[in-house]
Each structure stands twice: as C-alpha cells, then as structure tokens.
Structure 1
Amino acid sequence: MSKAVVVIPTYNEIENIERLIRNIFSLQRAFDILVVDDNSPDGTAQAVTNLFETFPNRLNILERKGKMGLGTAYIAGFKWALARDYDYVFEMDADFSHNPNDLIRLYNTCSKEGADLAIGSRYVKGVNVVNWPMSRVLLSWLASIYVRFVTGMNIYDTTAGFVCYKRAVLEKINLEKIQFVGYAFQIEMKFKAHLHKFKITEIPVVFTDRTRGESKMSGGIISEAIFGVIKMKFKSLFKGYEI
C-alpha cells in the first residue's frame, strides 16, 4: 500500500477512467487510487472493478446510490482515506483536464517542500488553460479574483480541483460541517485550511479541457459559488463558525 491515494469522483466517465487509472499506475512514484462513483449508468464502476485483478490492493472503489454532488463524493473519499494509513490525499478529475504527471509535483511540494496543501494552479503564473472558450476562461479567472477579494485568501486558483492534502489538514477540518456540494466545495476546503493557518502552496499546471465525455458544469453550481462565498465569509466572522 502506498502512503498516497488519489481520490477520483466519477459520473459517466467510461471513456476516460481506464486510461486514467493505467496512466497513474505507470508513474514512477506509487499512488493508490480510490474511485468514488455516483451510480454511473454508462458502466464506469464496472470498468473500474474489471481492473481489480490487474492492480490488486492499489485500486479501490466506493459505489454510491446516485448523483449526490462533487463535494459529498470527496468527503466520502477523504473519510475512506483517513480510516486507512495514508499520509497524502489527492483530488483529481477523471477527464484528463489534470495531467497525471503533475501528481508527482504536487506530492513533492508537500513531502519535500513543507506545504500542508498543494494546489495545481491554472492562474498562479498567468492563465494556463487549453481548449476552453474565452468566455469560460474569463468566468473562471474572474471568479477566483472575486473569491480572493471576499475571503482574503492569497490563492490565485481558489476553485482548483487538483490538490494534495497532508493528512493533518483533513484531520483538522471538520468534514461534517462542509456545506457546499458543487465546485464551491473547493473554495470552502481551501478557506478552512486557510483559517487553520496551514501552509498553502500553488504550483503552476496546464489545465486542458476534456476531449471525451461531457462537462458537469451547471448554472446552479456557478450560483452556489458566487453567493455561497459571501455567506461563508460572513459566517466566519462569528465565533460559532465551525472550521
């Protein structure tokens, strides 16, 4: 068993998941994988279980009853990892928008350079996004500026979903009190790590939009991020705010 596990939420990722798993397991550093699948009707979970014999003791799956949101998928994955002896827990998309080779850079940022939370950042060195329409690039970039302004966090890519956590961060944050279920979940986790004064480091990565499968972005997810951040910041000003 590796000391690092990559948590990958999936919903209808049959076109990507096997290729991604094989790619991660081909890296020079050993990572375990936990797929958290929300009852994908396209057979994503079966594609994962078909690989169990090929990668014994390294590939794992949590199968949930339905589509319950990105945030709850990661929380389930974090709890699974904390119940085992992992020292480093990663978040990663299933669609190859995150380059698997960058897992090693994130790992080294925490294990060798002293970060508690390492972020694969699209915006820390300019804008490193490939294949997105300009409207979406601007929306994402402006959203991060907005979140930085509201929360006071010195993080350029506040909505990034390519992250390495040291175990201590996930043990310290009260996972039962995480409110957001969509992409705003990423903001909330970083904000609470920030309030706990953990060392957060961004490393530049190139984000490449998916070429297979369909995006899960929706208007409700964007709305949650925009309005939820103000509510989150407001609550944090009072002593009863759970971090």
Structure 2
Amino acid sequence: MSALRILVVTPTYNEAANIRDVTRRLCLAVPQADLLIADDNSPDGTGRIADELAAAYEQVHVLHRRGKEGLGAAYLAGFSWGMERGYDVLVEMDADGSHRPEELPRLLTAIAEGADLVLGSRWVPGGRVVNWPRSREWLSRAGSAYARLLLGLTARDVTGGYRAFRVHTLNGVGLHTVRSQGYCFQVDLLRRTAARGFSVAEVPITFVEREHGVSKMSRAIVAEALWRVTLWGAASQLRKAQSARTKPARTG
C-alpha cells in the first residue's frame, strides 16, 4: 500500500472529547495515511481542536464547513477534497472512536488485494459490536437485511460506515447525483458500487460504542433510510419488469 496515497475522511460535529484520541491513534496505526477532519462548524470547539491537530501532525488537514448539513454532505465534500489532491484511496471513519484506527490496515490490505470497495463489517464471522443494547443491534441487523432483500445486495453489513474506496470506484458511481444525507448514504454508495460491477469485499471489525459525546442517530435518520431504501427497491423492481417486457421472445 505504500505506493497508494491514502486519505481518511472523518466528519465531525461536536466531537471535541474524541477527536484528539482518534487522531493520535490513526497516526500511530497507519502513519502513511493522511487525515481530513471535515468539521460542520461544531459549537463545542471541535474545529479549533482540529486546527491544533493539523499544526501538530503533518498528515492532518481540516475542512471547515458552514454548518451541520448531514453525514452524506460531509463525506461528499471530503471526497471532493481528496480527489482534487490526487489521493488513490479514500476511507470513511467515524470520529467518535467506534471505528478503531488499529483495524484500518485490515481494510487497506483488502484494497491492496484488488477490491474496489472494502466494508469493515460487524456482521461477518469475526466481527462484533461492543456495548450496544440488544435493541440497537437488532435495528442494525434488520436494516441491513431489509436493504439486502430490496436491493439485491450480497454484503452482510450494508449500513456500516467504516469503508475504504478506490478513487476510481467513487468516480464511477455518479457522486454528483447522490442526494442521501443520513446513514442511508452508506446504503446508497454500496448499491451504486454493486450495480456498476465493482468488486466489494468485507473484513471483520469490532465496533465499539462511543464513550464520550452523543450519538447522531435519530428517528429522522432511520426514517430517511427506510423510505429511500424502499423507493430504490421499488425502482429496481420496476426496471427489471420493464426489461423483461421488452426482451424479444425466443423462437424454437
């Protein structure tokens, strides 16, 4: 992986209690990777701390955004920043410590072996979650199963957010047409990647619930994911039906 330029994109909103530790751990675990902290004008001073980290670590950069516009918008802005600067691999990683930086080499190894997209998966053998209530685990598993069923996906962890993309993959999925904002952004990019024939690999990770700060998960985010996945699934079934009707009849 030494020949590939790697950028980890980490969106932040009120992560002042976590961003120092996550940055330190990432720089130790994968010193060849750069980190872009995309801060949505956090009122708790996360942006200021990010600037201090950028001054202390050569590989840390900061993208200051106008305000809280959603996870999808933050990642799209970070991807654009990385593409403009010639990175080869773009990584999604949460800022709250739930995605352990020490496991990133596992994702990068799968990229080096040829995968176009690598998912850090909680639901493959060897993957697990720590400090989640049963209700949260059930919701995540059910969400992945629902999206797999409707969208015809084979990956086990459809909604997870610890991912590594080759830039040519992102160039091929039509990022300029992405409108999803919350956690369904993850489903959206995965379905686009699979539909265009890119290879998808999953590697096991341990997802650790945050110790500091407040989760960004909300009923509105769950609702957005539910209705968008349902619409995508309906549209996919309609296209299949139309395609079947327009196929020429076989003659014996």
Structures share fold, TM-score greater than 0.5: yes
Deviations 1:31-71 (A, max 9, x none): 10001111100000100101223212x11111111110000
Name the residue aligned to 2:49.
47
- The answer on 1:200 being equivalent to 2:190 is no
- Offset, 1:234: 2.8
Please report the TM-score for the alignment, with normalisation by the length of structure 2. 0.90
Conserved 8 A contact 1:10-1:94: yes
1:71-82 alignment, distance < 5 Å: 71-82=72-83
Please report the TM-score for the alignment, with normalisation by the length of structure 1. 0.94
- Offset, 1:92: 0.4
- Offset, 1:176: 1.3
In 1, Cα distance between the equivalents of 2:132 and 2:140? 10
Q: Does the residue aligned with 1:143 lie in a helix, a strand or coil?
A: helix
Q: Which has the larger radius of gyration?
A: 2
Conserved 8 A contact 2:54-2:62: no
- Offset, 1:238: 4.1
Name the residue aligned to 1:4.
6
In 1, Cα distance between the equivalents of 2:30 and 2:83? 24
* Stretches of structure 1 lacking an aligned partner (at least 5 in a row): none
- The answer on 1:169 being equivalent to 2:188 is no
- Offset, 1:227: 1.4
Conserved 8 A contact 2:126-2:205: no
Deviations 1:12-40 (A, max 9, x none): 00000011111111125511000111110
Q: Does the residue aligned with 2:38 lie in a helix, a strand or coil?
A: strand
Name the residue aligned to 2:63.
62
1:82-161 alignment, distance < 5 Å: 82-111=83-112, 113-125=113-125, 128-161=128-161
User: Against the structure 1 CA distance between its residues 47 and 2, is the aligned structure 2 distance closer, same or farther, given a 3 Å change threshold?
Assistant: farther
- Offset, 1:126: 7.0
Higher helix share: 2
Conserved 8 A contact 1:13-1:95: yes
In 1, Cα distance between the equivalents of 2:214 and 2:43? 14
Q: Does the residue aligned with 2:8 lie in a helix, a strand or coil?
A: strand
In 1, Cα distance between the equivalents of 2:139 and 2:55? 43
Name the residue aligned to 1:14.
16
Name the residue aligned to 2:39.
37
User: Against the structure 1 CA distance between its residues 145 and 230, is the aligned structure 2 distance closer, same or farther, given a 3 Å change threshold?
Assistant: same
Q: Which 4+ stretches in 1 moved above 2 angstroms?
A: 233-239
Conserved 8 A contact 1:2-1:32: no
Report the identity percentage: 41
Conserved 8 A contact 2:117-2:198: yes
In 2, Cα distance between the equivalents of 1:108 and 1:10? 26
User: Against the structure 1 CA distance between its residues 126 and 224, is the aligned structure 2 distance closer, same or farther, given a 3 Å change threshold?
Assistant: farther
- Offset, 1:226: 1.1
1:202-221 alignment, distance < 5 Å: 202-221=202-221
Moved more, 184-193 or 118-127: 118-127
In 2, Cα distance between the equivalents of 1:23 and 1:126? 22
Conserved 8 A contact 2:4-2:89: no
In 2, Cα distance between the equivalents of 1:92 and 1:27? 14
In 2, Cα distance between the equivalents of 1:28 and 1:186? 23
In the alignment of these two chains, the number of paired residues is: 237
